[in-house]
Chains A and B, each alone.
Chain A
Amino acid sequence: MPAFLKIEDFSCGYEKFVLKNINFETERGMLTGIVGPNGSGKTTLFRGITGELDVKSGCVFLDGKSVHSMSFREKAKHMAVVSQHISATDITVEDYVLMGRLPHRKKLRFFETSEDYTIAYEYMKLTNVFHLKDKFMSKISGGEQQLTNIARALAQQPQLLLLDEPTSHLDITHQVQILNLIQKLSQEMNLSILMIIHDLNLAGEYCDYLIMLNDGKIHKKGLPEEVLNYKDIEDVYKTIVVVEQNPVSKKPAVFLVSEKILKQGNGSRI
């Protein structure tokens, strides 16, 4: 199968920070995690893919088509972004999700069609926020806001979904709920998903493929068990860790050790 998202020799960035020579590919139905320390270029990569930043060189292909030759609208029909921040608060959950239909609305159409409602309702049910539809965004919890955000992105009916730290600031109940949903989306809807994620354990548990960024370059890419090893993590994060295997899922699990223990010499390493 040909790669669905293909990033070739891609460089983009700002005056002071540049992402250099990024190369990777993902397929439909694949959940790819992007990990790396703060300032390693994760968000810059997203901005480059969505075309928010000017490209310095290279190309991003979506289903064989260059993303940067697409119009804003066309892009929004192909890819949706779930960002960390929810800025509108005086809007109902239903209206928020309906916003996702904007790129599909005809230019001179002011009102939502019944198809828009059907699609919005479908994804609200899928993300389990339908019962909140008349509530204001400011009145629901952080986890519910994030689910609504995902429903809004799905209403765009994209083929590529970009998620920027979807589980930050959430308790484990919501973290697991949201990651299970994301995993389900990639498998059942055959969506290609890129997800920035800080928690290496969750990244290892849920992602099919990992890309580890460091200092504007890809440090390592591969299966979670290939990328998440103590050596690469220590190189990139400058932190001593212990990597074991999750006894149930057999996925890599990363443990941190406090300085006090390390000084006592009790830290054992695999």
Chain B
Amino acid sequence: MRKKYLRWIIFLSTLILLGVITFLVGLTTGELSISIFDIPGIFRDKEGIEYVVLNQIRLPRIVLGIAVGGGLSLSGAILQGIYRNPLVEPYTLGISGGAAMGVALAIVFALPAVFGAFILPAAGFAGALLTIFLVYFLGIRHGNININNMLLIGVMVSFVASAAMMFLMAVTTSENLHSIVFWMMGSLDEPNRLLIRITLIIAATGLVTSAFFSGTLNALRLGESNAKHLGINTGASIRILFVIASLMAGVCVAAAGVIGFVGLVIPHLIRLIAGSDYRILLPGSFLGGGIFLIICDTIARTIISPNELPIGVITGMAGGIMFIVILSRSKSNFKMS
């Protein structure tokens, strides 16, 4: 066995172990603390307040955390790969802005009262989808994809969406304003199980599909022209990867609102620890993002219990500080390519 592969196996096993631990910690901690050893019994008996807490509240949150954290982080890793820019994340491309815009419109026009609560994620996804289309088609000229143009267009769409949001927030009622702000802060508290399932399936599909492109992403590290010389159809690959990454991010934002930072920081963190080979970076980012979000959510719902902090507060603070510490301690200069 090559040393490289052995390292990857150890790294992934560690992440999986860490994932199991965070999963169990997330299940047991909270306002009502439950012993690990009681869990099998609770799920067998299917009754009592403990069962409701585990099955209705904590388990769905954790599952959504894995899907959203994994999806956003994987999406970030892919986008950083195709744009070859370390500052790109799903939200830089205006996906969150578009989604927020969709949700704000739905709230302002009182759509939830007519169609039920499911309309909010649907509107969010529609908004994200619209942005993706805009960025994609404006970024393609004469059949060629212009990566830098696309990035700028994404940033601009993001600005326009946030300006339009501000306009909506300025003219609407304070009740609506509260709903919009609450949605924007992001939360893993999602009562709809179908939505959780969809998010998990999309994220897992994204992981499997993107894995087939790990060779392509590796070749793109040498630059688009060199990748072509290595036999990669770069134009088609970049388009497919863009669609995978942005759809994944769109679904995540629709399900959990705007949870920043995961898509930017986790891929970099994995890169610093395990290296830039996409064969390890993609699964590593997915697992790392999921673990990170479960930890942050567990902190967010316990730190000022019985109240709950918005998860974005924790992801931003914990993630940012953690990243700066690791970066300043690592011996090698941080480079991304």
Contact = CB atoms under 8 A, between A and B. Distances in A.
A87 B232 CA distance: 17
Interface in A61-83: 71-77, 80-81, 83
Given A88-B337, A90-B275, A90-B335, A99 B231 contact: no
A87 B226 contact: yes
B191 interface: no
Given A87-B226, A102-B215, A76 B275 contact: no
B5 A111 contact: yes
Interface stretch (B14-22, B64-72, B216-224): B216-224
A91 interface: yes
Interface in B265-281: 271, 275-277, 279
B215 A105 contact: yes
A248 B221 CA distance: 44
Given A90-B337, A91-B221, A102-B232, A83 B215 contact: no
Contact of A72 (B218, B232, B271): B232
B227 to A, nearest CB: 9
A201 interface: no
A156 interface: yes
- The contact size tier of chain A is 20 to 34
Contacts of A73: 231
Interface residues of B, number: 31
Contacts of B276: 88, 90-91
A81 B230 CA distance: 9
B51 to A, nearest CB: 42
Contacts of B279: 110-111
A153 to B, nearest CB: 8
Contacts of B226: 81, 83, 87
Main secondary structure on B side of the interface with A: loop
B267 to A, nearest CB: 13
Given A83-B225, A110-B214, A100 B230 contact: yes
Contacts of A177: none
A52 B231 contact: no
A187 interface: no
Interface string B199-236: 00000000000011011001101110110111111000
B277 A95 contact: yes
Given A83-B225, A99-B218, A89 B230 contact: no
A156 B227 CA distance: 13
Contacts of A86: 222
A229 interface: no
Given A76-B230, A156-B230, A99 B222 contact: yes
Interface of A: 50, 52, 71-77, 80-81, 83, 85-91, 95, 99-100, 102-103, 105, 108, 110-112, 117, 136, 138, 156
Interface of B: 2, 4-5, 84, 211-212, 214-215, 218-219, 221-223, 225-226, 228-233, 271, 275-277, 279, 332-333, 335-337
27 contacts: A50-B228, A71-B231, A72-B231, A72-B232, A73-B231, A74-B231, A75-B231, A76-B229, A81-B229, A83-B226, A85-B223, A87-B226, A87-B337, A88-B221, A88-B337, A90-B332, A90-B336, A91-B337, A95-B4, A95-B277, A99-B219, A99-B222, A99-B230, A102-B218, A108-B212, A117-B2, A136-B332
Given A72-B231, A81-B226, A99-B230, 11 more contacts: A50-B228, A76-B230, A81-B229, A83-B223, A88-B223, A88-B276, A89-B335, A91-B276, A102-B219, A110-B211, A110-B214
